[in-house]
Amino acid sequence: MPPRSAQIGGILTACALLATIPHQYGAGQGMAIIAALLLIAALALFSLTQPLSRLAFVVVGVALIAWAAATRPDWAQATLTALTRGGFIIALFTALSALRSAAMGSQAILECGRFLARQPPGRRYLALTLGGHLFGLILLYGAISLLGGLAAESTAREGNEELRRHRLRRMLVAVQRGFASTLCWSPMALSMAVTLSVVKGASWSGAAAFCMVGTALMIGIGWGLDTIFKPRLSAPPPMRMAETDGWLLRLRPLLVLLAVVVGGVLALHLATGVAVTGAVMTMVPLVAMAWVLVQPPAPGGRVATLAARIGRFAARDLANYRGEIVLLFMAGFIGSLGSWLLVPIMQAHGPDMSAIPPMVILAGLIWIIPLTGQIGMNPILAVSLLVPLLPAPAVLGVHPTAMVIAITGGWAISGNTSPFTASVLLVGKLGGVEARHAGMAWNGLYALATATALTLWVLIAATLL
């Protein structure tokens, strides 16, 4: 069990979600302030057990507040806006974590993952990439923990060390790339939520179809590279029996869960007019609770089981995510307040960004976001800090959707290559290699190929829109 202070922080984080949801429906600034105060208290408690690398972000945030207070008369409102941005990110993370917690305890979902991991070599990569994509939609990087763990489990029994090493690497990068490709388009991904908040005039409904093309490019390129650069073994691998069960039968629990979540989110969005992210915050926890209720209950009945699971989620699961919560909140906060402070400085002393050709800016975003990931900038921080420094799409003369394609595409590539992202850290741990090796040695060529393809696509899309 996590420390008592972290447990209380987890409960406060869950309460912050309950305060953020009404704000999404127009309840007023008061609910945003309540959520911000709850999260400030939670972060203070989480910080008691955080390493210096995490606390450095908190120190930077406090320094930005001091800078703002010393130089700008409207610093209080800007600080509240930054707190609201950080709270919004954590509320979305909390809602999705609730579904992840419910789904990863389901035997039916685990069997879906085992079915994908058992596929024969000829179709294993594509199966795990598509599986990583589908699982990633609802489990976030929990998809890598689940499918990557099953991959490590299945290869551990392989007696040939050479074959085991190659098979584990190919399985892990397949899952990772499938998960990262969700960052291009998923309404439940933090990439889309943050991007829509910083790109004026953008909407998920307007960008989704174009962003899905980017997803298709990432999946197709990964499959092609895996096929072309298949490792040459010193001895032929043993024959493997093909799975005889039908795909729809085996994957039905996952597909049903996805249909309920995505269908419910879209229905709520269309019925109420709330933003897609607000619909996600509302619908996903409800689906998670319903998922727990339909599972076999513990002694005491279904209601008691649900109450116990909610308590464990708040006091244990969220408390165990305290490092991620501190990092995500501070990345959103620093990006929001930092860009607010830098905009007037850039306007007075920096280069005229509006003089740069719009196509160069769009192409540059795809490459700059992954590059900043190599020097320790979380994509949330990079996007929140850098994009507000750019002219609005209307000033550039490009459609907002084109900028969304560029940002989410660069974010997805960073999710495959940055040694500071949770996805790359998990893959490195499961593969027994350093995170930088998992990011660049395993995915370097893939990143160059996908960045090139996405650059061409965003330029084409910008001319079509």
| pLDDT grade for 236, boundaries at 50, 70 and 90 | low
Check whether 156 has a pLDDT greater than 80: no
| Tens digit of each residue's pLDDT (9 = 90 or more) over 290-314 | 988 988 888 888 899 999 999 999 9
| Tens digit of each residue's pLDDT (9 = 90 or more) over 88-138 | 999 999 999 998 888 877 888 888 888 888 888 778 899 999 999 999 988
Higher-pLDDT residue of 439 and 239 is 439
Q: What is the mean pLDDT of the chain?
A: 90
| Tens digit of each residue's pLDDT (9 = 90 or more) over 387-423 | 999 999 999 999 999 999 999 999 999 999 999 888 9
| pLDDT grade for 242, boundaries at 50, 70 and 90 | low
Check whether 381 has a pLDDT greater than 90: yes
pLDDT at 240: 61
Q: Which two tokens stand for residue 120?
A: 């024969």
Percent of the chain with pLDDT over 90: 68
Check whether 238 has a pLDDT greater than 60: no
Q: What's the average model confidence in pLDDT over 25-52?
A: 92
For tokens 């008592």, what's the residue?
Answer: 4
Contact 326, 58 (CB under 8 A): yes
| pLDDT grade for 7, boundaries at 50, 70 and 90 | very high
| Tens digit of each residue's pLDDT (9 = 90 or more) over 312-361 | 999 999 999 999 999 999 999 999 999 999 988 888 877 878 889 999 99
Q: Please report, to the nearest 10 degrees, the dihedral formed by the alpha carbons of residues 316, 319, 323, 325 taken in order.
A: 120
Lowest mean pLDDT among 62-76, 347-361, 365-379: 347-361
Higher-pLDDT residue of 146 and 180 is 180
Global model pTM greater than 0.75: yes
| pLDDT grade for 159, boundaries at 50, 70 and 90 | low
Q: What's the average model confidence in pLDDT over 218-226?
A: 96
Higher-pLDDT residue of 238 and 462 is 462
Q: Can you say how many angstroms the Cα of residue 121 is from the centroid of all Cα atoms in its chain?
A: 28
Distances (CA, A) of 65 to 62, 83, 174, 336, 388: 5, 11, 42, 11, 18
Instruction: Quote the CA–CA distance of 449 and 220 in Å, as a whole number.
Output: 11
pLDDT at 349: 77
pLDDT at 234: 61
pLDDT at 17: 96
pLDDT at 244: 57
